[in-house]
Amino acid sequence: MRSTPTPRMMSLGLSMRGTGYHSAGWRDPSTPDNAELDPGHFARVARIAEAAKFDMVFLADALGMRDLDLDREALARTARVSRFEPITLLSYLAGQTSHIGLVGTASTSYNEPFHIARKFASLDHLSGGRAGWNVVTSLSDDEARNFGRETHFSYADRYERAREFVHVTFGLWQGWEEHAFIRDKQSGIFFDPDKLHLLNHKGKHFSVQGPLNIDRPIQGYPLISQAGQSEDGQELAAETADIVFSIQNSIEGAKSYYDSVKGRLAKYGREPDELRVLPGLQPIVGRTEDEARAKFDALQALVDEGVGMAHLTSLFGDLSAYPIDGPLPDMEPKRSGAAATVIRLARDIARGGDLTIRQLYQALAPGRGHKVLIGSPIRIADTMEEWFRAGAADGFNITPATLPRGIEDFAELVVPELQRRGLFRTEYTGRTLRENMGVRRIGGTQQVTA
Amino acid sequence: MRSTPTPRMMSLGLSMRGTGYHSAGWRDPSTPDNAELDPGHFARVARIAEAAKFDMVFLADALGMRDLDLDREALARTARVSRFEPITLLSYLAGQTSHIGLVGTASTSYNEPFHIARKFASLDHLSGGRAGWNVVTSLSDDEARNFGRETHFSYADRYERAREFVHVTFGLWQGWEEHAFIRDKQSGIFFDPDKLHLLNHKGKHFSVQGPLNIDRPIQGYPLISQAGQSEDGQELAAETADIVFSIQNSIEGAKSYYDSVKGRLAKYGREPDELRVLPGLQPIVGRTEDEARAKFDALQALVDEGVGMAHLTSLFGDLSAYPIDGPLPDMEPKRSGAAATVIRLARDIARGGDLTIRQLYQALAPGRGHKVLIGSPIRIADTMEEWFRAGAADGFNITPATLPRGIEDFAELVVPELQRRGLFRTEYTGRTLRENMGVRRIGGTQQVTA
């Protein structure tokens, strides 16, 4: 008798921005005051996602205040300026949840591998093996200026440093072998020194002796995620990550990215399913199409023209000479580097939909470029299933317009429909994040090339 | 009618080492297995301290594995090698407690001010204003080697960097004025840009633009603690700290340190009571003197000769040529810098008590130099009261031999006796750590010289 093969399931993450992803989310009547800095709000949101059997909650990050380049008038109207630091918030949430993964962003450009390896190991022990590290290389000069530099590292330097950083971190996590700690009260032997290994890494960017002053993470390595869209970003993800978050608006674009990043895995001795691709998705769900549309329209009515225009200005430069109800002119992007991905995306949205300047800032307001799906549970599940079956996504990173409403609606209306279709789990089956997702750690069965 | 002046109360901290401070604490039958990495153990311990109305729990730290210089045989028998990272553990504990302060160590030598200011601000918001930062400059070359250096910074460099680091951190915490966040859903104004200030610090060691991407800490500044015993350490404490932890074995030594550090406050425009001095104290308490002595003897019987000798060797160099039951020879300390304080202290203990080598390692096993008090609740409260009234201490940092037993015993037997004498609170009266301790933040009413 052959056992029935386990059907492939979607992975679902919830990206938690306190006031939601929609630029006017904080103004929605359902959004709590102080949503960005109320720990109870985040605990509630994470527990809703856990009750819905989400794989993980996720925290994006930046190492400085965002939107500093906006003019004062627009700046005063943006809610992204204040937020919890991810590792502290996730450590708090470790005690407020029991099954869901806790994935946080930390930059390789303005950190030291010892601190990052140690903090994620600590979070892994605090959470019983539910930690994940989202590896980023940071975006802006405003971040660089908080760490003694005038400008951000160049693209090439950033990724070279990131690759060494990740390998050092992996090395530190291997400093203590499994079962190194004996703790035999009788004999007085606390641990087996044969299972302790100094790293003694000496590289171009880092020299790190090790070992960590904490036992190996429960998961071996915490889950590794990335969001690399560029060549080097995809390559680093293929070599070192378990999941990639992507920003894709069309199924064609999503499929092409999916194929591109998965096509790189063989080079590192990895199978296609060892790297999960999770595009961002903002569902605006109602019991009917009309209810969903009404929710969306109510949010859009709160979008401020000044904030919207300031956002476009930060992407494309000064647009004041152009009529707001006319087309986006063919201007050069104001920024380079990782921000360029977002800029190209915004351009494609404008061109693809033949949008005016006003329509473009309105289109970017809900998800800042992430795909927005407005409709009934059936319609949203249909699209998710289509992407999943077409090889455009292994799951989704949900970027709700508002919190807690965005996750309440999704958990109540869409998750049961996905479960009914056999696309999503109805129970957690594992103990750790890796067990629940079914992803073994890199290096657990094969060597990472260093 | 004049109101009765509030009687001066002791401040009490609990220093949490998972397996206790006694070097054989992990072997005690009452110590849980995996005590060093079980979050539930720390939650239980913190809640016991909170029920006893302690001001704070405290976490010491090092940025590398301790005791790496021990020989393998001794190393295998030491429990200090694996521990939680403080900021993650305290963030977890923020959700497991409601009143007690959460004070964690972070080094100014191997960190960036932006990260530290941000993480402690985040912890302060997670805990409703209960965060504290214990400022240290790190100790060893083994720590330096985890951060790209071969040797630790020199004493002078370390303190110069520390002073600038602390001032940058204070500056970052002032980036957002009080009540900067308006969050007016109606008008769409989220914050008042007049209340946002870039730091634009350019100094010898750091260049930091700011602002923090998180609202100012609830306490203004989280509580600042230090443990500086040296000249520069005392000076930094007098200028920037709210509490100092000290390591003192005699009331005379404690008084002299107390006077020395308090005598420096006027220079910074501060009153003597604005800096609280908390010597470490390890109480071994029993209902009777005999019961206390029996507890102590049982622990001492678990002390391993190899570990004890290795500890002395790490302080004084090779002692193998000297009879173990003879006196400590007059050798030069093997280490310099901050470790020298500990070495001098060990020497004084040996000379003061006319101890043999064996007696010295046994004397250091319980508290590694912290004062050990063995006896009935009355006897322990008597000594604490004597130190408190004599101007040798404003309170104590309790360093229990084992956990949870050490804090259970102290909470059950000694705290009620201190409360009966009017020396310690019976209820929390404030909302934040600063309110409970009655210490205003530095710079709240006067300027810190920068």
Tell me if A90 sits within 8 A of A134, measured CB to CB: no
Q: What is the DSSP letter of B155?
A: H
Of the residues B342, B364, B386, which one is the last residue of a structural domain?
B364
Confidence bin at B174 (pLDDT 50/70/90): very high
pLDDT in tens, B252-280: 999 999 999 999 999 999 999 999 999 99
Q: Which two tokens stand for residue A345?
A: 């995306």
Same domain, A175 and A29: yes
Number of domains in chain B: 2
Averaged confidence pLDDT in chain B: 92
Q: Is A173 on the interface with B (CB under 8 A)?
A: no
* pLDDT (mean) for B159-164: 97
Q: Is B24 on the interface with A (CB under 8 A)?
A: yes
Is residue B443 predicted with pLDDT exceeding 80? no
Is residue A17 predicted with pLDDT exceeding 60? yes
B147 interaction partners in chain A (CB closer than 8 Å): 112, 114, 208
A318: CB partners within 8 A, 6+ apart: none
Percent of chain B's residues with pLDDT above 90: 78
Q: How far apart are CA B188 and CA A365, in angstroms?
A: 14
Of the residues A329, A344, A364, which one is the last residue of a structural domain?
A364
B92 interaction partners in chain A (CB closer than 8 Å): 91-92, 94-95, 126
pLDDT, residue A329, reads 86
Q: How distant is the Cα of B438 from the closest Cα of chain A, in angstroms? A: 25
pLDDT, residue B449, reads 39
Nearest Cα residue in chain A from B65: A213
* pLDDT (mean) for A408-420: 98
Averaged confidence pLDDT in chain A: 92
pLDDT in tens, A94-112: 999 999 999 999 999 999 9
Report yes or no on B389 lying in a domain.
yes
Q: Is A126 on the interface with B (CB under 8 A)?
A: yes
First-to-final CA distance of chain A: 43
Say whether A192 and B76 touch across the interface (CB within 8 A). yes
pLDDT, residue B132, reads 98
Confidence bin at A449 (pLDDT 50/70/90): very low
pLDDT, residue A39, reads 98
Mutate which of B82, B176, B212 to disrupt the A interface (most A C-beta within 10 Å)? Answer: B82
Residue whose structure tokens are 């007690």:
B100
A118 interaction partners in chain B (CB closer than 8 Å): 85
Is residue A37 predicted with pLDDT exceeding 60? yes
Same domain, A27 and A89: yes
Stronger pLDDT, B260 or A69, i.e. the higher one: B260
Report yes or no on A448 lying in a domain.
no
* pLDDT (mean) for B430-434: 96
Report yes or no on A5 lying in a domain.
no
pLDDT, residue B228, reads 82
* pLDDT (mean) for A154-167: 95
Range of the domain at A312: 304-364
Q: How far is CA B369 from CA A187, B91, B299, B361, B375, in A?
A: 25, 29, 16, 10, 18
pLDDT in tens, B223-242: 999 998 889 999 999 999 99
Confidence bin at A448 (pLDDT 50/70/90): very low
Q: Is A111 on the interface with B (CB under 8 A)?
A: yes
Work out whether strand B189-191 and strand B181-184 pair parallel, antiparallel, or are unpaired.
antiparallel
Say whether A81 and B190 touch across the interface (CB within 8 A). yes
Same domain, A177 and A66: yes
Q: How far apart are CA B26 and CA B80, in angstroms?
A: 10
Q: Is B98 on the interface with A (CB under 8 A)?
A: no
User: Which ranges of B77-230 would DSSP assign to H, the alpha helix?
Assistant: 86-94, 113-126, 141-144, 155-173
Q: How distant is the Cα of A109 from the closest Cα of chain B, in angstroms? A: 13
Same domain, A272 and A316: no
Q: Where are the beta strands (DSSP E) in A267-325?
A: 276-285
Q: Is A305 on the interface with B (CB under 8 A)?
A: no
As beta bridge partners, residue A11 has A395
pLDDT in tens, A202-220: 999 999 999 999 999 999 9
Stronger pLDDT, A345 or A432, i.e. the higher one: A432
Picking from A64, A88, A213, the nearest residue to B123 by CB comes out as: A88
Is residue A224 predicted with pLDDT exceeding 60? yes
Helix (H) / strand (E) element for A73: namely: helix A72-75
- Closest-CA residue to B139 (of B157, B153, B128): B153
Report yes or no on A449 lying in a domain.
no
Query: The domain that contains B228 carries what CATH number?
Result: 3.20.20.30
Q: Which two tokens stand for residue B253?
A: 């030594």
Q: How distant is the Cα of A158 from the closest Cα of chain B, in angstroms? A: 18
Residue whose structure tokens are 């089956």:
A429
Q: Is A40 on the interface with B (CB under 8 A)?
A: no
Is residue B445 predicted with pLDDT exceeding 60? no
Same domain, A248 and A161: yes
Nearest Cα residue in chain B from A82: B214
Q: Which two tokens stand for residue A430?
A: 């594992």
Same domain, B268 and B382: yes
Q: How far apart are CA A137 and CA A229, in angstroms?
A: 12
- Closest-CA residue to B118 (of A98, A254, A401, A65): A65
Q: Which two tokens stand for residue B249?
A: 């074995």
Say whether B213 and A64 touch across the interface (CB within 8 A). yes
Q: Where are the beta strands (DSSP E) in A167-251?
A: 181-184, 189-191, 201-202, 207-208, 223-226, 243-246
Q: How far apart are CA A282 and CA A200, in angstroms?
A: 45
Q: What is the DSSP letter of B290?
A: H
Q: Is B183 on the interface with A (CB under 8 A)?
A: yes
Report yes or no on A66 lying in a domain.
yes
Give one word for B33, left, alpha or beta, with left for phi > 0 and alpha for psi -120 to 50. Answer: beta
Q: How far apart are CA A152 and CA A142, in angstroms?
A: 8
Is residue A255 predicted with pLDDT exceeding 60? yes
Mutate which of B33, B91, B197, B201 to disrupt the A interface (most A C-beta within 10 Å)? Answer: B91
Say whether A122 and B88 touch across the interface (CB within 8 A). yes
Report yes or no on A445 lying in a domain.
no
pLDDT in tens, A186-207: 999 999 999 999 999 999 999 9
Same domain, A243 and A336: no
* pLDDT (mean) for A270-296: 96
Say whether B145 and A207 touch across the interface (CB within 8 A). yes
Confidence bin at B330 (pLDDT 50/70/90): confident
pLDDT, residue B440, reads 85
Q: Is B18 on the interface with A (CB under 8 A)?
A: no
Is residue A280 predicted with pLDDT exceeding 70? yes
Confidence bin at A338 (pLDDT 50/70/90): low
B193 interaction partners in chain A (CB closer than 8 Å): 72, 75-76
Say whether A88 and B84 touch across the interface (CB within 8 A). no
Picking from A39, A112, A188, the nearest residue to B77 by CB comes out as: A188
Same domain, A211 and A353: no
pLDDT, residue A3, reads 54
Picking from B37, B78, B146, the nearest residue to A190 by CB comes out as: B78
Q: How distant is the Cα of B178 from the closest Cα of chain A, in angstroms? A: 14
pLDDT, residue A333, reads 66
Chain A, 395 to 434: residues with Cβ < 8 Å from chain B are: none
Written as one letter, the residue type at A313 is T
* pLDDT (mean) for A127-131: 98
Say whether B37 and A215 touch across the interface (CB within 8 A). yes
Mutate which of B30, B61, B78, B126 to disrupt the A interface (most A C-beta within 10 Å)? Answer: B126
pLDDT, residue A446, reads 37
Report yes or no on A25 lying in a domain.
yes
Contacts of B144-148 spanning 24+ positions with Cβ under 8 A? B144/B109, B144/B110, B145/A207, B145/A208, B145/A209, B145/B64, B146/A112, B146/A114, B146/A208, B146/A209, B146/A210, B146/B63, B146/B64, B146/B110, B147/A112, B147/A114, B147/A208, B147/B63, B147/B110, B148/A112, B148/A206, B148/A207, B148/A208
pLDDT, residue B337, reads 57
A224: CB partners within 8 A, 6+ apart: A132, A133, A135, A166, A240, A241, A242, A243, A442
Same domain, A260 and A378: yes
As beta bridge partners, residue A176 has A196
Of the residues A364, A398, A413, which one is the last residue of a structural domain?
A364
Same domain, B431 and B401: yes
Is residue B446 predicted with pLDDT exceeding 50? no
pLDDT, residue A445, reads 43
Report yes or no on A447 lying in a domain.
no
Q: How far apart are CA A232 and CA A237, in angstroms?
A: 9
User: Which ranges of A196-250 would DSSP assign to H, the alpha helix?
Assistant: 231-240
Say whether B33 and A183 touch across the interface (CB within 8 A). yes
pLDDT, residue B336, reads 59
Q: Is A207 on the interface with B (CB under 8 A)?
A: yes
Stronger pLDDT, A317 or A235, i.e. the higher one: A235
Q: Which two tokens stand for residue B306?
A: 């190899």
Same domain, B99 and B123: yes
pLDDT, residue A1, reads 47
Same domain, B34 and B59: yes
